[in-house]
Amino acid sequence: MEEPTNSFPEIIGTNEKMQEVFRIMQKVVNTNSTILIKGETGTGKELIAKALHYHSKRRNAPFIAVNCSALTETLLESELFGHIKGSFTGAVVEKKGLFEAADKGTFFLDEVSEISPGLQAKLLRVLQEGTIKRVGATQDINVDVRIIAATNRILEKEVERGTFRRDLFYRICVIEVGIPPLRDKKDDIPLLAEHFLSIYTQKNDKEKTIKGMAPDTIKYLIEYDWPGNIRELEHEIERAVILSEGPHIIASDLSEKIRTGGINLKLEEIKDKTLKGVVEIYERRILTEILFELKWNKSKVAKVLGISRQALNKKVEKYDLDRRSRRG
């Protein structure tokens, strides 16, 4: 089996889908082609864009990023292209735009699907001719920038709806990099969790207090689906570090949504099962969750569940549970 490789060490990932991302990045890093990064919110699209810039021949020039959904059309136009004095109310001085500021470097347009039709036409001009025109000006300005765009939408659908120009889509999507959601690369979760643990123990002066994560904590993290992707995982680890008393991050340090998320059943798990069978799946999983969380202290577990220790032992025997049992 081929060993995972990564020429971009600031990006953590050994999953096979991430290996494909790295292979594409390696091929395009030193080209001037426009790149479209696709991925759900929180998957790290800007991190990919920065890696492409700082490993490229443009690395010594500026990397400038703008979130296209964060500004109104008028403000975004002024930010991108600049303006001359008196071009609109409040334009009291001449202003250089971000495209000019990014000359010889990389310009990252995040959430590019949110750009208005009018600005889409001006962006297309930058891509086709390498020139911009400040708001209110008549003179063209040459700019040499590599454009990397990103979106969490399916741009092809926006083109069909008529909200995104077809010609601009083809100009932007010369090279496509698709970032998989965290739920599709769960084998990378332990690596990412340890990375964020290192960051936040240092930030909170807890390097000596917290030594790592308990095995059952990792299991909870792996079983959760992470709708907010890597950003959500990072915030969860930050929270756990703050709340933890050490020496390890334990299950009770995690938020309730993480601890209960693993109990949810998928359709294939209950297909063709009777109601009794479904209840038993839930019961086994809940028992295992609590046994691990309370470190197999059966007296505490029985008290939490409101049953006798003898009844608990029967259930443990029924489901063939032991300290090596994985949940589910």
DSSP string over 44-69: -HHHHHHHHHHTSTTTTS-EEEEETT
pLDDT category, 5, cuts 50, 70, 90? Answer: low
The dotted CATH code for 16-180 is: 3.40.50.300
Q: Is 80 exposed, middle or buried (0-12, 13-18, 19+ CB in 10 A)?
A: buried
Q: Minimum mean pLDDT among 73-82, 184-193, 235-244: which range? A: 73-82
pLDDT category, 328, cuts 50, 70, 90? Answer: very low
Helix or strand or coil: residue 135? strand
Regarding beta strands 131-132 and 141-142, do their DSSP bridges make them parallel or antiparallel, or are they unpaired?
antiparallel
Distance CA 217, CA 222 (A): 9
Q: Is 256 exposed, middle or buried (0-12, 13-18, 19+ CB in 10 A)?
A: exposed
Q: What is the pLDDT of residues 87-136, one digit of tens each?
A: 666 666 778 889 999 999 999 999 999 999 889 999 999 999 999 888 87
DSSP string over 188-250: GHHHHHHHHHHHHHHHTT-TTT--EE-HHHHHHHHHS--TTHHHHHHHHHHHHHHH--SSEE-
In this prediction, residues 244-258 reach a mean pLDDT of 87
In this prediction, residues 274-291 reach a mean pLDDT of 77
User: CATH classification of 184-318, choosing from 3.40.640.10, 1.10.287.610, 1.10.8.60, 3.30.70.20?
Assistant: 1.10.8.60
In this model, does residue 295 exceed pLDDT 50? yes
DSSP bridge partners of 298 = none
Domain ranges of the chain: 16-180, 184-318
Of 112, 177, 113, 100, the residue nearest 145 (C-alpha): 100
Mean pLDDT of the chain: 87
In this model, does residue 262 exceed pLDDT 60? no
pLDDT category, 79, cuts 50, 70, 90? Answer: confident
Q: Minimum mean pLDDT among 79-83, 122-126, 201-205: which range? A: 79-83
Q: Is 24 exposed, middle or buried (0-12, 13-18, 19+ CB in 10 A)?
A: middle
In this prediction, residues 184-194 reach a mean pLDDT of 95
Please answer whether residues 88 and 128 qualify as being in contact, where contact means their C-beta atoms are separated by less than 8 angstroms: no
Q: Is 225 exposed, middle or buried (0-12, 13-18, 19+ CB in 10 A)?
A: middle
